[in-house]
Structure 1
Amino acid sequence: MPKNALYAQSGGVTPVINASAFGVIHAARQHRDRIGTVYAAENGVLGILNERLIDTAQLSDAQLALLKNAPGGAFGSCRHKLKHGAELKRLFEVFAAHDIGYLFYNGGGDSADTCLKVAEYAQYQGLELTAVHVPKTIDNDLPLTDNSPGFGSVAKYVATSIREAGLDVASMASSSTKVFILEVMGRHTGWIAAAAGLASDRDGAPPHLILTPEVPFEAGRFLKAVQETVARVGYCAIVASEGLRDTHGVFLSDAGSTDAFGHAQLGGVAPLLANLIKTELHHKCHWAVADYLQRAARHIASATDLAQAIAVGEAAVHYALAGIKSVMPAIVREDSEPYRWRLEPVPLLDVANREKPLPLEYLTSDGMHLSAAGRDYFLPLLQGEAPPPYLDGLPAYPSWQFELVSPRLTGFNAV
């Protein structure tokens, strides 16, 4: 009898994470002689620990295809740092109870760590399990891969947003708002903010300033740049990463708390910058925080990003069936013009708990604008449109309702 497979989503979702779910499940269905039931965990690793599993056979092929067009996490996600001891032991009890031989864990850097823990435990205990990490993160900070599925669509969203908002501000700047700030995600890296620089297609076009964690924030230098831009262009549109740090490495907007993985919770850098501008330069300033809107914007997804999200899911299954375990499908760029890429497995040991910073060469020497090298890197990732179906003028997204399989173990209280 073939072993069963388990797929789970983890961490913050992306506009195309469900496309990776499609890739995994669809590929597994092509190998029914080697993979039995394909389960999905409800709410990531918490669903595994609590034995809340979904038999994906509930989805017809037509319903399965809908995953490619849907934002959010169809099966639910979570932020939970898997603990050694009771939790790892429980995980493998669930695997044994449901004859799981393959684990496909879809997430970012912290999820890679979880997947690696599971793989190492299986190897140490001599247990039969093939674990493969399926990459995704809008932050684009996974190492050993050219880019991360989810990033291209978010980059497309923020570049579009700052271009449109800039036109709005420009039309009112003579009598009203002079400065607009768009805060985007990026706790430790500035990939998303830098990609917004693609919106500037001519001299004087927004964004006029880009602020990233890789370039220490200096108030005086920033205010001078804002003032010079207003004097030259008439207004100033800014994109800022949430993780801006001062010259001492301290977050500008540290809220004083941490998440499940010990990461600092950030309290919003845009209002801090706006207040600084109003106080020191006396310009009327508006700000917005993209927040969940950027990672949920499936309506403006990049076709390139969608294709890569599906491909990494499919590749994970192919690697597992070939006996390649404890790896992540990495995207390798072969050329930028025309854009060509391929996938190859990289060891999870070299991915987990590591971050890839934005190269400073992707910014100009002042650290506040996108360079030619940065434009060459980012531009292919935004290419192509892949709109979802529309109904009554709005995106027609499915509402997922799944029945859970009957539990075979006693309860476990994982939160």
Structure 2
Amino acid sequence: MSATETLIAAAEAHSAHNYHPLPVVVATAEGAWMTDVEGRRYLDLLAGYSALNFGHGNRRLVEAARAQLERVTLTSRAFYHDRFAAFCQELAELCGMEMVLPMNTGAEAVETAVKTARKWGYRVKGVPWEMAKIVVAADNFHGRTTTVISFSTDREARADFGPYTPGFEIVPYGDVAAMRSAVTENTVAVLLEPIQGEAGVVVPPEGYLPAVRELTREREVLFVADEIQSGLGRTGRTFACEHEGVVPDMYVLGKALGGGIVPVSAVVADAEVLGVFRPGEHGSTFGGNPLACAVALEVLAMLRTGEFQERSAELGAFLHGELAGLKESGQVTQVRGRGLWAGLDIAPSLGTGREVAERLLERGVLVKDTHGSTIRVAPPLVISRKDLEWGLEQLRTVLGA
């Protein structure tokens, strides 16, 4: 057996089968490229589901982490540490808001947003106890905790994990009329992805987000934007909501905030919203730890220049122009997305999304399928145009375009 086969066999024997990885074992990575244990190189067009917006082994982020590793990595929130205030202040300023509640994973941040919205509903809006409702969109992906799957429409995510958490209303994504009908006097929040990532990089109809923003203001409801995948430069703006001039009441952030080095997530809102918490009501041992704050502070410094947002917009325009050609040729039935983020529905005659991903793997390109026929393209924002062109050339070859 090869080293790859041996390591995959060991992983399959001793780890739970909650993922179905492509048959590649990565050993090292730099920028937009990964190298496996056999020495083969692969162009990464997934970027850790946007956790690696700034590329593998980004020197600025690695140096920030290394410097902090030699100082202090964890205090717990039982004490202050010297990176915490700067992280909270700078992230709040980036979002144009007042307060930050740091966590670790995206799912934790979504759970935190749910708790925040409910507590705000009872303490500020005056919703009767245990009557708070949150409206969400069908085909959403906000994580896989028990509460989050309770408002998922993905059968695989929900099956065999009940009983489910009540308090959620699911409406079709992009349907303003359905949203308006679902919002009642007991609704405390509308929770949406401004672009649905796991669903296949689904962009809502133009005007949808502004209409939701107007509705939530009109009904005294919090608009919560899950920008865990779409935020921090991925779509060509700092936040995907910006494409339609929308500012939510609450951002839910994660993935790229940790630079692909440590898990960092956060809920960001004004004091009227996050100010409802009192000591002991919510927390995390690792949330806002010194190492996480040091890395995230460097991420924020990189985002403040605007260069990564501009790069995503420019290369994204090229990417979508090239992908439009695949649709015209019939190899792809639909192309969706913004910036350096795209979902492609593969023509059924050419195979499933998984089969296309496996064929791309053989040609040195890594992507990931979703929902049977769709593959997602989301390279690190540091990718060169030359490398992106090469990756697209491999895609055209695999599809026979």
**TM-score for the superposition, normalised by structure 1:** 0.30
Over alpha carbons, which structure has the higher Rg?
1
**TM-score normalised by structure 2 residue count:** 0.30
